[in-house]
Chain A
Amino acid sequence: MPERTVTIASAIGLHARPASLFCQAAARTGVPVILTAPSGASVNAASILGVLSLGLDHGETVTLQADGEGAEGALASLVRLLETDLDQQ
């Protein structure tokens, strides 16, 4: 399964605005994407509650996985989002 690792760039961590923007983007890809925290816990990247439950802070490295048609493109777009400080836009 294609996967990418990325470090959370948002200064406040992945919640609030960054989490909303990320989950909306994940849902828009139309591809099921799995987000895995350093702890090994995995959630549906399009679920805000799921993403919040991971408690991801700035500087933590996560893994994104997706399968099927469009998976590579979906992962690339979500990696770009997480590499951006989403609270500064």
Chain B
Amino acid sequence: MDDPKTSAKRSRRTISPIGGLLAPSCIAVDAHAGSVADAVRLVGTMLVAADAVDSSYVQAMLEREESISTFVGEGIAFPHATSAAQGSVHRDAIALARFPAGVDWNGQTVHVAIGIAAIGRGHIGILSQLASALLVPHAAARLRSATTPEEVLELLRSTA
């Protein structure tokens, strides 16, 4: 039904399928974080390790999170920085951490945090694809209970 790649996107550059933006090294299926900041640092650090962003991007993600929560419902949050941090992004990438015990995200419980780095206005397309994938019935629940990186990748590939 809802095709995310219709007229709204026509003027934008082609965006890689979401699965391709998520390196296996950027997936942590059994993570633990004692706070929102810990969780954001965890996914941010994976983006740094993958050489997708400079380390300063992590601080920008934390500032964004303090300004307004990136919780999107379904036990999922999409931490990312503001456009002010553009200079510290090397390439489009995402990093995913699953928190089996959950993280108290300002009163909501988050089981999956997906950190996003994007060049230019690429974040709009990435957020759109991720959100579309997670709106597929049961996709968010399957992601919350995925126990291997392969499962995570398969899920995002098959639904995005």
Contact = CB atoms under 8 A, between A and B. Distances in A.
Bound together? yes
Given A16-B64, A20-B69, A39-B3, A52 B128 contact: yes
Interface in B112-138: 121, 123-125, 127-128, 130-132, 134-135
Q: Kindly name the residue among B8, B123, B134 whose own CB sees the greatest number of chain A CB atoms within 10 A.
A: B8
B128 A39 contact: no
Contact of B132 (A20, A48, A53, A57): A53
Interface string B53-81: 00000000000100111111110101010
Contacts of B9: 55
Given A37-B8, A39-B7, A57-B8, A50 B131 contact: yes
B148 interface: no
A2 interface: no
A17 B67 contact: yes
B6 interface: yes
Interface of A: 12-13, 15-17, 20-21, 37-43, 47-57, 60
Interface of B: 1-4, 6-9, 12, 64, 67-74, 76, 78, 80, 82-83, 121, 123-125, 127-128, 130-132, 134-135
